[in-house]
């Protein structure tokens, strides 16, 4: 049985995930349409991730009452929605920047709202169902090119913020969010995560979402003429590769050895990137690594008590490194085009394959690392 507090949590998580996925899609379209020469069209993505990291880190130790959080939700949604509407008329770079910054601040506020509602729920089921529903909602609203320049995303932002504000309890205070937003959906920076080669496949897969989602708009433009699919269909396939495997495993109550399957998916993406230079190969490699990300994410959220009680301690490095990585990718896309994304796929796949090989070999030095507390 699901009580009312848990129902509110599920709805809030769905809206938060819709904001996360919608931000990637809409701002990616804006970058391709309005800012194609700024970091290869990825400049809005860099600002989106950068502001998200800054707001996340700056508010890590700040307690926010429900009334203040309501105001932040509505204010940031108004800024982002207003900027989107103005962008549709004037294609202003300043308005694109305001939309990206406002959307990022709204995303962190939505994560805070979810955390406040989670504290009131008797049981917090894994976020797999709301994540899938939120991604589907974002895809329906903003998964088609040109939609970013219409009123639909702006209305969606205002509606999501209003619903979240209404669902918040009359009295409540929430502390800072975890470093990994949305139950580890976004990766964390830090070298300690790479100390054990057996974890390299899952660590590499956790970073696969960044280049794949940030370059989704430009990649669909590259692939559209060769794969004979619409942009909305290509986006839907990638989102399906990200979220349908966890949903299927969750509904069937299946457990799996995550590291092995993640390594297989990432290695498949590596082989496709090396063996095929076509746009179809680029898309298939991206989908394989999306599958790797989905399995790694499913493994991370499988231990619900650990996720729920983990301390909120994002570092500045962890908060800003995703934006820096996408900025470097944007520079590479500017000068190298599709080869930049293919090189990123090869790098992530190689890390996963090497880590899997080392974990199978298990020399004494690595055994000591695995046993370290």
DSSP 8-state code for residue 145: T
**What range does the domain containing 229 cover?**
4-371
215: helix, strand or coil: coil
The total of other beta-carbon atoms located within 10 Å of residue 161's CB is 26
CA gap 184, 301 in Å, rounded:
8
Query: From the DSSP assignment, how many helices (H) and strands (E) are in the chain?
Result: 16, 2
What is the model's pTM? 0.89
- What φ, ψ does residue 298 adopt, rounded to 5°? -60, -40
Instruction: Report the percent of the chain where pLDDT is more than 90.
Output: 46
358: helix, strand or coil: helix
The CATH number for 360's domain is 1.20.1250.20
CA gap 360, 197 in Å, rounded:
10
Note the pLDDT of residue 332: 94
Note the pLDDT of residue 363: 54
pLDDT in tens, 123-135: 778 889 999 999 9
pLDDT in tens, 105-150: 999 999 889 988 888 777 778 889 999 999 999 998 886 665 556 6
Note the pLDDT of residue 365: 42
Taking 3-state DSSP, the helix, strand and coil percentages for the chain, each rounded to the nearest 5, stand at 80, 0, 20
- The DSSP string of 219-279 is HHHHHHHHH---HHHHHHHHHHHHHHHHHHHHHHT----HHHHHHHHHHHHHHHHHH--SH
Give me the mean pLDDT over the 191-207 stretch. 84
Higher pLDDT among residues 372 and 221, named by residue: 221
Which of 69-73, 146-150, 284-288 shows the lowest per-residue confidence on average (mean pLDDT)? Answer: 146-150
pLDDT in tens, 296-321: 888 887 654 444 434 445 677 777 88
Which among 117, 213, 99, 221 is positioned nearest to 157, based on CA atoms? 99
CA gap 343, 349 in Å, rounded:
10
Note the pLDDT of residue 307: 42
CA gap 368, 134 in Å, rounded:
42
Question: Would you say residue 177 has pLDDT above 60?
Answer: no
How many domains are there within the chain?
Answer: 1
CA gap 111, 114 in Å, rounded:
5
DSSP 8-state code for residue 178: P
Question: Would you say residue 22 has pLDDT above 90?
Answer: yes
Instruction: Report the percent of the chain where pLDDT is more than 70.
Output: 84
Q: Cβ(238)–Cβ(290) under 8 Å?
A: yes
């Amino acid at each position: 049985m699901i009580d009312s507090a848990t129902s509110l949590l599920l709805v809030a998580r769905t809206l938060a995930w819709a904001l996360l996925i919608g931000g990637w899609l809409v701002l990616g379209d804006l970058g391709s349409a309005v800012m194609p020469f700024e970091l290869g069209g990825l400049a809005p993505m860099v600002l989106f991730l950068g502001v998200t990291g800054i707001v996340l880190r700056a508010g890590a130790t700040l307690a926010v009452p429900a009334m203040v959080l309501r105001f932040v939700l509505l204010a940031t949604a108004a800024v982002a929605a207003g900027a989107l509407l103005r962008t549709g008329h004037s294609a202003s770079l300043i308005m694109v920047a305001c939309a990206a910054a406002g959307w990022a601040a709204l995303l962190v506020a939505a994560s805070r709202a979810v955390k406040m509602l989670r504290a009131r729920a008797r049981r917090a089921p894994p976020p797999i169902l709301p994540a899938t529903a939120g991604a589907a909602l974002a895809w329906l609203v903003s998964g088609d090119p040109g939609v970013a320049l219409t009123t639909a995303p702006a209305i969606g932002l205002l509606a999501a913020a209003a619903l979240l504000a209404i669902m918040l309890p009359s009295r409540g205070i929430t502390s800072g969010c975890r470093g990994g937003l949305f139950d580890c959906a976004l990766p964390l920076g830090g070298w300690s995560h790479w100390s054990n080669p057996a974890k390299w496949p899952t660590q590499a897969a956790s970073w696969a979402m960044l280049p794949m989602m940030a370059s989704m708009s430009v990649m669909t433009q590259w692939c559209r003429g060769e794969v004979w699919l619409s942009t909305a269909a290509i986006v839907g396939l990638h989102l399906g590769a990200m979220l349908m495997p966890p949903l299927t495993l969750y509904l069937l109550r299946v457990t799996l050895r995550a590291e092995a399957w993640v390594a297989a998916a990432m290695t498949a993406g590596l082989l496709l990137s090396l063996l095929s230079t076509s746009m179809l190969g680029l898309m298939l490699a991206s989908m394989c690594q999306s599958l790797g990300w989905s399995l790694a994410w499913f493994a991370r959220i499988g231990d619900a008590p650990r996720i729920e009680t983990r301390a909120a301690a994002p570092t500045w490095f962890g908060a800003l490194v995703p934006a820096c990585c996408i900025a470097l990718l944007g520079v590479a896309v500017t000068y190298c085009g599709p080869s930049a994304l293919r090189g990123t796929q090869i790098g992530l796949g190689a890390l996963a394959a090497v880590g899997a090989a080392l974990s199978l070999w298990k020399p004494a030095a690595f055994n000591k690392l695995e046993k370290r507390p």
